[in-house]
Amino acid sequence: MRIGIDIGGSHIGVGLVDSNGNIVKLQEKYIKEKKVNSTAEFIAQEIVTILTTWKNEEKIVFSKIGIGAPGIVRNNEVISSVNLGLNNFKIEEEIKKYFPTAQIKVANDAKCAALAEKRWGSLKEYEDCIFLCLGTGIGGAAFYNGRLIKPERCAGFEFGHMIIEKNGRLCNCGSNGCYEQYGSMRKFKSVIKERMGIDKSIDGGELRSIIRNNIDTDVVKNTIEEYIKYVCIGLTNLVNILEPQVICLGGGFVKYKDILLNKLVNEFRNSKNLFYKENIPEIVIANFGNDAGIIGSTLLFD
Ligand SMILES: [Zn+2]
């Protein structure tokens, strides 16, 4: 069995994954619980602690460790992750100190999630497809003729940083008007909390109940409508360029599908911005939700 690790914007998930993509053991750790100085140090420490316990106390045998991390990843190093504040984080080297015989591969988290959806999930029946992860930021990947498109220079497909608003909100990457400043779930949640006067520290489940209970109020309706319009601008841009058969939505958006999905599909299907209006791509929801990154990172060895 292989180890799959997903480093998200808010938590680290470590999973033991079998050859059919089932997570047979899972441990999670929230990054906000960090007590050491740097996020990089915390992430490496937590991963090593979990894996050491699994190996020594539970006698779990593994030789391959796949890691999905947000941002730019090159040669198994996180070059930069704007949302976690990571720079030149040599994560493979750090883990290797404790597991010298293990093979370790690191890739962008959205690419890992996309691999899982393509092999076993919502994208398995399609050749040309897009995976769009709406979470803390926005990440993604694209497949053409069934293969992940992998440019030479870097992983690319930074859908979250395409500009959708001239002189728009400042993004963590330094640009203004990036897609993720309007279409990420983090932004949706922070805008709705601010407009409804909700405490910032409220958890996701509570926030969803408040939204559901107030779904007919103007503030909720208007915020959802505005959010959907922005998500659609990005979607239509992607579709006009890549013309996929299907777009799979993952990340935290999955938990809001009863609130947001139908409205998004309606807006998208009726969008006047689609260049090719026949045979409009389908929108589907990620099969593995937040587990996709863990499962997909084990596919980096295939
Ligand atoms: Zn940006």
Q: Which fold has domain 122-286?
A: Nucleotidyltransferase; domain 5 (3.30.420)
User: Scanning the structure block, which residue is given the tokens 């937590």?
Assistant: 46
* 162-177 burial code (b ≥16 CB/10 A, e <16): bebeeebeebbbeeeb
Enter the tokens of residue 31: 């990054």
How far is CA 72 from its chain centroid?
13
- Decide which of 256 and 277 is more confident: 256
Cα of 138 from ligand 1 centre, angstroms? 9
How far is residue 244's CA from residue 131's CA, in Å, rounded to a whole number?
A: 10
How far is residue 299's CA from residue 254's CA, in Å, rounded to a whole number?
A: 22
Neighbours of 12 (CB within 10 A): 21
Cα of 180 from ligand 1 centre, angstroms? 7
Cα of 181 from ligand 1 centre, angstroms? 7
Q: What is the mean pLDDT of residues 223-241?
A: 97
**Which residues fall within 8 angstroms of residue 223, CB to CB, at 6 or more apart?**
188, 191, 192, 195
> Reading across the β-sheet that carries 138-144, which strands appear in turn?
147-148, 138-144, 129-134, 246-250, 282-285
Cα of 176 from ligand 1 centre, angstroms? 7
Each domain of the chain, given as residue ranges in start order, spans: 2-108+292-301, 122-286
pLDDT for res 33: 61
- The pLDDT tens digits for 47-105 are 999 999 999 999 999 999 999 998 889 999 999 988 788 899 999 999 999 999 999 99
CATH: 3.90.79.10, 3.30.420.40, 3.90.1150.10, 2.170.120.12. Which one for 2-108+292-301?
3.30.420.40
Cα of 83 from ligand 1 centre, angstroms? 10
Cα of 302 from ligand 1 centre, angstroms? 31
Cα of 238 from ligand 1 centre, angstroms? 16
Cα of 179 from ligand 1 centre, angstroms? 7
- Decide which of 248 and 37 is more confident: 248
- The pLDDT tens digits for 177-204 are 999 999 999 999 999 999 999 998 898 9
Cα of 56 from ligand 1 centre, angstroms? 42
